[in-house]
Amino acid sequence: MQIGAKIYYEKDTGNVIQTVGERSGEVIETTREQDFAVYAALADRVPDTVGMIQLEYGAHAADYAEGGVFTRVDLTTLEPLFTYPDPSAPETPQEPQPALSTKVSTLESESTATQAALASTYEALIQSQQETTSAQMALADVYEQLINMRSELDALKGGDV
C-alpha cells in the first residue's frame, strides 16, 4: 500500500504545523484523531483550527529533491507553498511560493499552447503568401494583356495614319 503525505496547517494562516510523511509497504492509514494523539505539535491544538490536505504518494518528489520545504498552504487553492534554498544567500529566508514542479507543468502547457498558436499562425501566413502569389500572377497576366492591347492599339493607330 502507498499512502501520500498528510499536511496539517493552521486554518487562519496556512502555516504548516505537522507533516506526516508518505509511507509504503505494510502500512495502514492513520485517522485525524490518531495523528492528533501521536504528534505533539497537533496535540496542543484545537482540532477545529487545523486543516489537513492529503497528497498523492510521490507528489512533489521533484520539489523535495530540489531542497524545497513545504512551509505553507495557499488558503484559496489549498495547494502547497514551498520555500527553496537560495545558493547565493542560504541564510536569507525565502517567501513561500507555488511548487516549482507545478510552475514547470504550467510552463510546459503554455509552451505547447504557444507552439500550437505559432503553427496555426505559420499556416495562415503560408496560405496568405500563396494567395498573394496567386494575386500577383493574376495581376501580371492582366498587365501582359494591357501591354498587348496597347500594342494592338498602337498598331491600329499607326495603320490609320
Can you give the residue range of the structural domain that contains 32?
A: 2-98
pTM: 0.59
Measured at the alpha carbon of residue 83, what is the angle toward residues 80 and 21, in degrees to the nearest 5? 55
Do 94 and 105 lie in one domain? The reply is no
Contacts of 27 (CB under 8 A, 6+ apart): 1, 3
Q: Do residues 82 and 70 lie in contact, with contact meaning Cβ atoms separated by under 8 Å?
A: yes
Q: Do residues 83 and 69 lie in contact, with contact meaning Cβ atoms separated by under 8 Å?
A: yes
Tell me the three cell numbers of residue 88: 547565493
Do 53 and 72 lie in one domain? The reply is yes
Do 117 and 64 lie in one domain? The reply is no
Return the number of other C-beta atoms located less than 10 Å from residue 133's C-beta. Answer: 10
Do 82 and 114 lie in one domain? The reply is no
pLDDT per position in the chain (161 positions), as tens?
Answer: 999 999 999 999 999 999 999 999 999 999 999 999 999 999 989 999 999 999 999 888 888 777 788 889 999 999 988 888 777 776 776 777 766 677 777 778 888 888 888 888 889 888 999 999 988 998 988 999 999 988 888 888 876 54
Do 11 and 72 lie in one domain? The reply is yes
Do 122 and 44 lie in one domain? The reply is no
Using the Cα atoms of residue 115, residue 121, residue 125 and residue 131 in order, give the sign of their dihedral. Answer: positive
Return the number of other C-beta atoms located less than 10 Å from residue 101's C-beta. Answer: 18
